[in-house]
Chains A and B, each alone.
Chain A
């Protein structure tokens, strides 16, 4: 993998929050044009990783490079320049609740560019057409279903034609049809628009169908990496348990406790 091929390069990343270690010496590379999945159990800091990439928080140690720019050292204005080329899809959609669908997608364009209103209208309708919701452009966010809201948020995330798009749990809480649409859209948009996609998720089944490369994170460390196929055949017991969704394994079913029989017999 040569330097120009890598869009995101993380080296020796360490991050602590309130005394709790979230990341401890994580190394991670994301290739241009690929769909990379970052998976792990809930609460392992997958979303935190996206925030580190977007520069919303700074790590205690290590380097986070996006497009050869060292994110943690950027000044706020430089950071905004980089963010204009990043899209992010939030778990809740995070649509602005006082604007309708059209204005929500027009928002980043109006705020960040000097384009005339007619051109903005064309761009917004094009993005909405991509996610199949051109007919819904007059609706308010609270009139949308969960799946639609996420598609609108997706259209907004690509409004500025970013180089990279980050998905935070894009498959959570959707019905099978809406889920299928999002899965298809992620892959389709990635290839059609020449994006680089980073998906943070714990939905193994959905993501292995579209990801080119996966990272498994747990307890602040990379537990496994490789293409979905490689991971499925991985020799690591932990990776095996996670990918197959087994209830017992290296991650035990039982929270550590004292002896069961002894505990039951003990007088209160």
Chain B
């Protein structure tokens, strides 16, 4: 393993290690579910505590979308499609993606710091010696908490975004609210949950 191929082998090694880690986490999940209290606590830590930043960003993203969209649409006299544009873009793309990024930033970094500290102070090592698998006790609950909170946060983000769009469109710009009849495809929240997993590794 020398010379110019080192970077390639190291990268492949890294990908393999991460995959193995993910598989080990998944294999440990059944025993995590036996201790729901830990999961609930972690949902509070990663989910509930991320609510503020998610809500505020959602609201403002919706408001900005509506405001900027309106100026462009008004030029073509298509103001009535503003609601559809805001709702669609939030639901299909912006909601899950931005929530995922924010979630990885807010919850992911705090998780990484927490677990890093536990490693540095030998707490993980001590758990292993007490015959407790840190992957089941420490990583598992946080992983499930991330998987559960991410779609919910994404839904909250989208809802508040649409609300922000409504505030701008109807209250500020005086458009007439109409019921949107079409059914939209569900958001794809699974896209970003992976980032939480990788930040834990």
Contacts and interface: CB of A to CB of B under 8 A. Distances in A.
B104 to A, nearest CB: 23
8 contacts: A54-B129, A80-B133, A87-B129, A88-B126, A91-B122, A96-B123, A111-B130, A112-B132
Nearest to A51: B125
Interface string B116-131: 0110011101111111
A238 interface: no
A172 interface: no
Contacts of B117: 97
B116 to A, nearest CB: 13
A92 B131 contact: no
Contacts of A94: 121-123, 125-126
B129 A56 contact: yes
Contact of B122 (A87, A92, A108, A160): A92
Contacts of A84: 131
A149 to B, nearest CB: 11
Interface in B135-184: 137
A178 B118 CA distance: 25
Given A56-B125, A83-B131, 10 more contacts: A86-B129, A87-B129, A94-B121, A94-B122, A94-B126, A96-B126, A107-B132, A108-B130, A108-B131, A156-B130
Query: For this complex, into which size category does the number of interface residues on chain B fall?
Result: 10 to 19
Interface of A: 54, 56, 80-81, 83-84, 86-88, 90-92, 94-97, 107-108, 111-112, 153, 156, 160
Contacts of B123: 94-97
Interface string B95-126: 00000000000000000000001100111011
Contacts of B131: 80-81, 83-84, 108, 111-112
A90 B132 contact: no
B126 A90 contact: yes
User: For chain B, what secondary structure do more than half of its interface residues adopt (helix, strand, loop), or is it mixed?
Assistant: helix
A108 B133 CA distance: 11
A261 B130 CA distance: 56
Nearest to A81: B131
A160 B129 CA distance: 12
B39 to A, nearest CB: 15
Contacts of A108: 130-132
Contacts of B118: 96-97
Contacts of B122: 90-92, 94
A84 B132 CA distance: 9
A156 B129 CA distance: 11
Contact of B129 (A83, A96, A111): A83
B25 to A, nearest CB: 15
B201 to A, nearest CB: 19
Contact of B132 (A54, A86, A97, A111): A111
A69 B175 CA distance: 78
A90 B127 CA distance: 11
Contacts of B127: 96
B128 A83 contact: yes
